[in-house]
Amino acid sequence: MPISTTTAGTHPAAPPQPGSPGFFARLDWGLVVVLLAAAFLLFYNLGQRPFWQDEAETACLARNVLHSGLPYASDGVNVVSQEEAREFDKTGGYLWRWSPWIQIYMQAAGMAVGGMDTAPARFPFALAALLAIFWTYRLVRRHFGDRSWALLAAILLTSCVPFLLIGRQARYYAPGTLFVLWALDAFFSDWQRRWGPFWAIFASMVLLFHANYLLFLSFAPTALAAAALVYPERMAWKRLGLLTLLTTVVAVVPGILLYRIGRQSGMFDILLVPENLMLYFADLCMFCIPLPVSAALVWRWRGFFTRLRRPDDPGETFVLFSAVLIVMSLLFLGIVPQRFFRYIAHLLPLCAILLAWCVRRLWGFSRPASVMLFILLAFTNWLAVYPMERLKIVNRPWQNDFRQLTSLNFPLKLLVTELVCGYPDVNTSIVEFFKTHAKPGQTVLAEYGDLPLMFYVPGLRVLGGLQGPVPPGTVPDWVLRRRVVRVNRDRFLFGAREYTDGMDLSGRYERVPLSLPDETFGNRTDDPNHHYFMPVEPPNKSLEIWRLKEPRS
């Protein structure tokens, strides 16, 4: 595999060849194999685990879209809320105004075509993840002319289990990632002189805003700053001003009003910034770019960091741009009060491109070392986890649990094991229990997991969760208590736990004997720190379900 010396824009066009090769002759069969493998990992048993709480929130809203055309938080019986009823105005018909709507309508589209089930609802998002893998390949191949680098990037993204986990989830993560790739592709397509790429960037920014405005706010300004530092010659300032104006008028200003973004600014807490930055740095090293690779690149690019001296190779310059964009995004996200891995998931293709470039570059110096690096990056997490553990940068109580990505293991093996063998998800246990034992019209007070119940068990009135205070005098037919005690943003108990603590459970209710383990989240795949691939071994706490005693005659 010789090092490619072809770069975009450095060679004259090739002379016309007689005839034109057929479609199959032009097809990159290596890419086809990668996409087939990715399709299996993304679509196989897509409905195996039910929606967890956040996915079920979107699913309930999507179901209401199919009934009324708009995402209302109430269907007349149950109310969808995880922010103590901050997400809507009751006087305004319960219209959802907390988070953007693209994920809701994508899920509704999947349900409209495939039925009111888990797999169809997740299908559009898995498809977006598959397209993101293709666009990662396309971005490198089209603009830098290196097929090997492009193929390695697609392989590394396909083997990235955190990316596969978010790609299999019915949330904004995969669509947001795809919109970021579209924007970058258009940026490198001579947007300074051509209107097609200009409008492609504009459309990508509008879609990204309505996928998740936090992704937009963390990507757009940091990408602009990174481009100004690394690609000053590509900054067409007049067009950039027009692009900013159009995006602001079409997306940002209406979005601020529709999603009431200002009401969420009160959650800012400057005291959380240092901890957020530390944890984002840990996530970056554990799941995205291993610490030894980052250290080597910082040393290699020390001339840029001290004198803004760019590499001569256009491909390496793009990798530098990607690294600067990633770092700036993390710095921006550090000021956001809530910290989740899902907020950096859209950067995973750039991480794959960066790592693939390292493998490709190392090939010219030592082929065995390049192959070894590729194997470590694609099939193990050893290079990511082991240095962190040795340096004691990350010290999690579950760090030695082989069921998770926070220990030394083979991530793809863990994922395939889960897909093929299944997993006893806690939400499956809850849903199946109430499907079997609860009657339509009965009331369930659930401390958590209320939204999966709303979606999968129609006919029940479901209270509790993170909805806010339970109406005084409520006498539920069923009570579901969870082992994790949850507090709201003000550090007070959520209403459901506060209410159940004051109930006479032992007097008016009888506990149902169960041996079903009570996990915290179930299929929470948006954070690789929390996802289990194999069942937890005993001992574990069982689900606590109480049934209202029948009145004596």
Q: β-strands 461-464, 478-481: how paired?
A: unpaired
Separation between Cα atoms, residue 42 and residue 163, nearest integer Å: 10
Which sign, positive or negative, has the C-alpha torsion 436, 441, 444, 448?
positive
The pLDDT of residue 23: 47
The pLDDT of residue 399: 54
Query: What is the DSSP-derived secondary structure letter of residue 14?
Result: P
Q: Report pLDDT digits (tens) over 470-500.
A: 999 999 999 999 988 888 777 778 889 999 9
Token pair for residue 297?
């690149």
More confident of the two residues 125 and 518: 125
Separation between Cα atoms, residue 85 and residue 98, nearest integer Å: 10
The pLDDT of residue 175: 97
Contacts (Cβ under 8 Å, ≥6 apart) of 57: 80, 82, 451
Separation between Cα atoms, residue 88 and residue 73, nearest integer Å: 7
Separation between Cα atoms, residue 546 and residue 477, nearest integer Å: 8
The pLDDT of residue 267: 63
Average pLDDT, the chain: 89
**Which one-letter amino acid corresponds to residue 541?**
K
State the Rg of the chain over Cα: 25
Q: From the CB of residue 261, how many other CB atoms can be counted at a distance below 10 Å?
A: 16
pLDDT over 90 at 462, yes or no:
yes
| SS3 at position 444 | strand
- pLDDT over 70, % of the chain: 92
The pLDDT of residue 378: 96
The pLDDT of residue 391: 84
**Reported confidence tier of residue 17, pLDDT bands at 50, 70, 90:** very low
Poorest-confidence range of 19-28, 115-124, 205-214, 429-438?
19-28
DSSP letters spanning 518-536:
--SSSS--S-TTT--SSPP
Q: Stretch 391-416: mean pLDDT, rounded?
A: 80
CA distances from residue 230 to 177, 308, 427, 461 in whole angstroms, order as listed: 22, 8, 47, 56
| SS3 at position 74 | strand
Which among 473, 477, 451 has a CA at the least distance from the CA of 464?
451
Separation between Cα atoms, residue 462 and residue 454, nearest integer Å: 6
Which among 253, 268, 265, 262 has a CA at the least distance from the CA of 209?
253
More confident of the two residues 399 and 30: 30
Which among 282, 488, 508 has a CA at the least distance from the CA of 395?
282
Poorest-confidence range of 24-33, 233-242, 428-437?
24-33
The pLDDT of residue 268: 63
Cβ distance 63 to 116 under 8 Å?
Answer: yes
The pLDDT of residue 490: 73
pLDDT over 80 at 21, yes or no:
no
**Which one-letter amino acid corresponds to residue 545?**
I
Cβ distance 460 to 443 under 8 Å?
Answer: yes
Q: Report pLDDT digits (tens) over 94-149.
A: 999 989 999 999 999 999 999 999 999 999 999 999 999 999 999 999 999 999 99
